[in-house]
Amino acid sequence: MERVVEKSVEVRDGLASHSLHRDNEKSEPFDVTDAREDIRRHKRYRAMLSAEYTRLKRLRETILGPGTIDFPGLICILDNYNASLNDMDRLRDIREAIDNGNAAAYWTDGSHFPDGHPKAGFLGAAVVVVNATSEQTGEYALGRYTGDSTDAELFAIGAALDHAKKAIQKGRTLTLTLIRIFTDAQRLLKAIHTGSTLTLGPLLSTPKTSLESFYERASWLANRGVKIQLEWVKAHAASSGNQAADQLARAAARNQEASLRRTDLWHPEAGNLSRLMAEADVPAPWRDLGRDWVDEWLWRANRGLLATDELSSGRLEACEDVVRRWEERSLSDEDEMPAPAKAASGEIPDGEWVGDDLLDILEDERSEADRMMEGDVEKQMREDMARADLRMGRTGKMRVLG
């Protein structure tokens, strides 16, 4: 923390006995106050991440049922050498089957744009197809704040399965017996292999998840004698199919931002996320599915604004060290610090969305910092006591951040 300047506070009559304010002493330095707030926000964000994990487990169970589920195909995760082969070598064993119309190869990819930008989450996906008659490509714009890159990866694999399914349904191929889908989403493949993936796919306008569609399409193909192979390919290596899918997926995500920039809805400084979404913003099809789906939609819609509260391990340790040294110094002066309000713990019941209350908390904390800058200590203390009672119990309508 670069700001280390302490501020002298003129103690007014009646406040000298307060543990934080004594004659001729200074208030808590701004670097300590900032560190406390950073820690509090970090804990709150981590609690929300934990709530999301338990919620995803419940949602997965509503989609697929309890326990694990077997994928009706083969999943291949090769070593780095074989995963880095060029496409000619990769298809050598099925090249003849492709030429005869008995097999098809797909490369899929999903993308989040901009990479690592916490306030802008455009998703895109792409599929590259090689079969007996042609090479085809498809790209998909998956919206904003609908999920992460792994959600887009699952959507892309499902799109490849759907392409093969429709080719059979429409009679474009009568002899297809094998499809091989290449993806660089190794972690997703491992989760599918164990039958325990929590990836739902992007939450789009239609209340049906990519996870559900993935297993439905795979089962449909398997029941008609089509062998399905999902194979990991190392990203950005020698596979031209993977590189093409990557470029198309990135373009699908990037073009959505470009389109939005041409409208009056774009807010450059906020990345167009100027407020936390409330329950009223959730599309009706998702609201109709129940509380968990509402909470999941809100989490995805608001995560970009909240992600900046998460601290790196080094930053968290530094903040904790600043607070610890200040408290040790205060105790050595026999000046006890007051116990923090329960609302500052960041604890959130599992599965609950706290967006509406969270905005009130953020606004309270911003107002608190403004008052400290003005030296209005007496007013701060009065409102602290009222806010400690009301903060976590408050409900109400969402307000727009300035």
Tell me what pLDDT residue 235 has: 92
Handedness of CA 68, 147, 203, 300 (dihedral sign): positive
Question: pLDDT-based confidence at 392, cuts 50/70/90?
Answer: very low
Distance of CA 157 to the CA centre of its chain: 20
For range 32-39, the mean pLDDT? 88
End-to-end CA distance of the chain: 25
Name the most confidently modeled range: 109-113, 182-186, 321-325: 182-186
Q: How far apart are CA 75 and CA 239, in angstroms?
A: 18
Residues 185, 125 contacting (CB under 8 angstroms): no
Query: Per CATH, is 74-261 categorized as 3.30.420.10?
Result: yes
Asked if pLDDT for residue 319 goes beyond 80, the answer is yes
Question: pLDDT-based confidence at 278, cuts 50/70/90?
Answer: confident
Tell me what pLDDT residue 3 has: 43
Q: Please spell the DSSP secondary structure of 309-341, one letter per residue.
A: GPPPHHHHHHHHHHHHHHHHHHHHTT-PPPPPP
Residues 246, 198 contacting (CB under 8 angstroms): no
Rounded percentage of the chain residues whose pLDDT exceeds 70: 70
| Per-domain boundaries in the chain | 1-67+276-402, 74-261
What distances in angstroms separate CA 134 from CA 104, 128, 307, 398, one per listed residue? 10, 11, 44, 52
Q: What is the pLDDT of residues 150-179, one digit of tens each?
A: 999 999 999 999 999 999 998 887 789 999
SS3 254: helix
Q: How far apart are CA 200 and CA 108, in angstroms?
A: 17
The whole-model pTM stands at 0.72
For range 52-62, the mean pLDDT? 95
Higher pLDDT, 66 or 337: 66
